[in-house]
A = this chain, B = another copy of it.
């Protein structure tokens, strides 16, 4: 149907999400800098997608590492990782993916540089494929909480475009629809960058899922007048206590859902959970340039020189979250304990 990320052996193809829904244009990335630039411009975005793309970009660029010894190789590899990591501070999936590939290579302690480069590529591709699998499992677990005839509100884009494929919160909606449940999605447009109207609306159309598009400011009144059965969002980083960073507007949505007694879920692969981050306040929140608010495309919509606050994300406190839908099942409160348990099981599995 559409493949936002594709590995083409000597390059990576990325669907340029800044051009959607008007044009489906692919960016041919033959080096890490082109990928880093695409990440900065949000041509590719979404926490799980960023993890996959970061690993692929490093695997591609690592081929031209000139270091002959393992030490030299790892030194240069770290520099590549840092170049990608500095593009966006909030999503933990890049850190997670690059940590995973580096650990994998380091554990192969007899491998030579040439083999390390090959292993790196294999591990990056494994992350790619596992993310799709994880998303499908999120869909299977998540669809259980979706009643038939459900109205499900969401924000930002958490579909194929935000992941290696299938989607997280979007994947739950999709899985429920694929299982034959009648669902109505309500997509909040997601200012400033309109991922809800540009990307989620486009993906919902492509998947023939009925939906309504609203501005973010209509969410509360929609809940009151039309009603909603669930709110499901994605996450860019989940702290050890369950606090979840996600697209700006998620915090308001959680409060509005709470006030209307609508269960509020987060859907994300466990790679989005950062056990090193104790709580939401410890998550770095990226602030982006004012022009995202003062302009739409090239069109100015605010006077020259206005002061703007433009955090790209906010944090939903765990108390507002009914459950975190992961590939391992739905994590319920108490989160500290149950997140530790889910990650512990994860570690066992990967070391088995």
Contacts and interface: CB of A to CB of B under 8 A. Distances in A.
Contacts of A259: 255, 258-259
Contact of A307 (B190, B213, B219, B301): B213
Q: How many identical subunits does the complex contain?
A: 2
Interface string A291-320: 001101101111101111111001000000
Nearest to A205: B303
A19 interface: no
A290 to B, nearest CB: 8
A224 interface: yes
A89 interface: no
A215 interface: yes
A259 B220 CA distance: 13
A21 interface: yes
Contacts of A305: 205
A191 B213 contact: no
A216 interface: yes
A22 interface: yes
A251 B216 contact: no
B191 A221 contact: no
Nearest to A259: B255
A217 B306 CA distance: 18
Interface in A20-45: 21-22
Interface string A159-186: 0000000000000000000000000000
A141 interface: no
A85 interface: no
Interface stretch (A129-137, A195-203, A228-236, A324-332): A195-203
Contacts of A211: 306-307
A112 B210 CA distance: 61
Interface in A255-272: 255-256, 258-259
A145 interface: no
B248 A213 contact: no
Given A255-B220, A296-B296, A311-B221, A248 B215 contact: yes
A108 interface: no
B256 A252 contact: yes
A227 interface: no
B299 A197 contact: no
B216 A293 contact: no
A221 B287 CA distance: 13
A217 B252 contact: yes
A274 interface: no
Contacts of A294: 197, 213
A307 B209 CA distance: 12
Contacts of A308: 212-214
Given A188-B217, A255-B259, A258-B259, 16 more contacts: A22-B300, A155-B217, A191-B191, A192-B215, A197-B294, A213-B302, A213-B307, A213-B308, A214-B309, A217-B248, A220-B255, A220-B314, A221-B311, A221-B314, A226-B309, A297-B299
24 contacts: A188-B217, A189-B293, A191-B216, A191-B217, A192-B215, A197-B302, A198-B301, A198-B302, A201-B303, A205-B303, A211-B306, A212-B309, A213-B307, A215-B216, A215-B249, A218-B310, A218-B314, A221-B311, A226-B309, A252-B252, A255-B255, A259-B259, A296-B297, A297-B299
